[in-house]
Amino acid sequence: MSLSSRSVSAKDLYSNSNSNPNSNPSQDPIQVLPTALPKAKSPKDLPKVIYLDAFGTLFGLKGSVGDLYSNLARTASVITDPHAVNQAFYQSFGSAESMAFPNVAAEAIPELEYRWWQAVVSQTFEKVGALDQFTDFDSFYAGLYGYFETAAPWRVYGDTLAALKRWQSMGIELGIISNFDSRLYRVLDVLGLRPYFQSVTISTEVGAAKPSAQIFQAALQKHHCKAQEAWHIGDSQLDDYSGARAAGLHAILLDR
């Protein structure tokens, strides 16, 4: 679903020779990752770093959350309606607090992430009246949690690799800023995306989630980069576009 009634192509948005790479574009989303950057008189005119969101920007799911959860539930002999599960998931996910754990020791984060998602998943199946049908929900959930750390449920978008390779060839540093949990490192590895990025910044490790300026500032520090020297591309109007702009970065909204 488009976030705007009008979209512009990457060519239209980035081919203008008079473009300023540090100016903010209109809020109209682009529909592919821009491999063409503004023509620059020198490397100093290009962004030092391009940050990207992860899920929904670089890669997405093979099917809906409802489809995947229902398929996994079927292996536990629990039959659910994928459409209803999908709705229940987004209701549960949307009502949960941000996945960020300020002032927590690093070694405690994986367990907190696990329990955060367990609450969302159990509430999802409770909403569709299926939670009590599991003979051992804890074991089912452990399998589900591990499944989303594999390549099986994910697909890399068709424009992702071309854009990353292009930017890399131009000497632009790349980073990820995401509200994903620490499984993201493994997902990036199995999808073959990790080698393109010099940094990965996630909300659970920073203790603040997008759109908070804190997570953008943490990412900038990893590259010793000023906000005006960086771009951020993502698919969320609030978390990515508005959050990045508020933090002083050049923000680009992506419509998947």
Q: What is the CATH number of the domain that holds 75?
A: 1.10.150.720
Within this chain, do residues 188 and 240 fall inside the same structural domain, yes or no? yes
Average pLDDT over residues 130-146: 98
CATH of residue 167: 3.40.50.1000
Q: Is residue 5 part of a domain?
A: no
Within this chain, do residues 113 and 81 fall inside the same structural domain, yes or no? yes
Residues 6+ apart with CB under 8 A from 65: 85, 86, 89, 90
Total tally of structural domains belonging to the chain: 2
Q: Are 226 and 5 in contact (CB under 8 A)?
A: no
Domain-ending residue, one of 147, 170, 203: 147
Q: Is residue 42 part of a domain?
A: yes
Summarised one tens digit per residue, pLDDT across range 86-104 is 999 999 999 999 999 999 9
Within this chain, do residues 223 and 248 fall inside the same structural domain, yes or no? yes
pTM across the whole model? 0.86
Q: Are 222 and 241 in contact (CB under 8 A)?
A: no
Q: Is residue 3 part of a domain?
A: no
Percent of the chain with pLDDT over 70: 86
pLDDT band at 202; cut points 50, 70, 90: very high
Q: Is residue 213 part of a domain?
A: yes
Summarised one tens digit per residue, pLDDT across range 205-248 is 999 999 999 999 999 999 999 999 999 999 999 999 999 999 99
Q: Is residue 143 part of a domain?
A: yes
Q: Are 80 and 130 in contact (CB under 8 A)?
A: yes
Q: Is residue 220 part of a domain?
A: yes
Within this chain, do residues 161 and 247 fall inside the same structural domain, yes or no? yes
Quick one: pLDDT at residue 29?
77
Residue 119 vs residues 123, 133, 212: alpha-carbon distances, Å: 6, 17, 23
Within this chain, do residues 120 and 136 fall inside the same structural domain, yes or no? yes
Among the listed residues 168, 161, 155, 123, the one whose alpha carbon sits nearest the alpha carbon of residue 141: 123
Quick one: pLDDT at residue 40?
54
pLDDT band at 182; cut points 50, 70, 90: very high
Within this chain, do residues 74 and 130 fall inside the same structural domain, yes or no? yes
Domain that holds residue 122: 63-147
Average pLDDT over residues 126-134: 98
Summarised one tens digit per residue, pLDDT across range 34-81 is 765 555 555 667 899 999 999 999 999 999 999 999 999 999 999 999
Q: Are 57 and 233 in contact (CB under 8 A)?
A: yes
Contacts 24+ apart (CB under 8 A), 133-141: 133/77, 133/78, 134/73, 134/76, 134/78, 135/76, 136/76, 140/72, 140/73, 140/76, 140/78
Quick one: pLDDT at residue 92?
98
Residue 12 has pLDDT above 50, yes or no: no
Residue 54 vs residues 33, 67, 140, 194: alpha-carbon distances, Å: 13, 21, 26, 11
